[in-house]
Amino acid sequence: MVGLIWFVQIVHYPLFGYVGSKEFETFHEHHKILITPVVGFVMIVELVTTGILIFQIPVGIPNWTVIVGIILIGVIWISTLFLQIPYHNKLSSKFDKNVLMMLVNTNWIRTICWSLRGIIVLIMLDTLMKTHNL
Number of domains, the chain: 1
Q: Which pLDDT value is given to residue 33?
A: 95
Q: Is residue 23 part of a domain?
A: yes
71 lies in which domain range?
2-52+62-131
What's the whole-model pTM score?
A: 0.93
Distance CA 32, CA 88 (A): 8
Helix axes 63-79, 97-131, angle to 10 degrees: 160
Q: Is residue 44 part of a domain?
A: yes
What's the Cα-to-Cα distance from 129 to each of 43, 63, 109, 125, 133, rounded to whole Å?
25, 17, 30, 6, 6
Q: Is residue 71 part of a domain?
A: yes
Q: Is residue 88 part of a domain?
A: yes
Q: Is residue 28 part of a domain?
A: yes
Q: Is residue 43 part of a domain?
A: yes
Q: Is residue 57 part of a domain?
A: no
Digitized pLDDT (tens) for each residue of the chain, 134 residues in all: 999 999 999 999 999 999 988 899 999 999 999 999 999 999 999 999 999 999 999 988 999 999 999 999 999 999 999 999 999 999 998 999 999 999 999 999 999 999 999 999 999 999 999 998 88
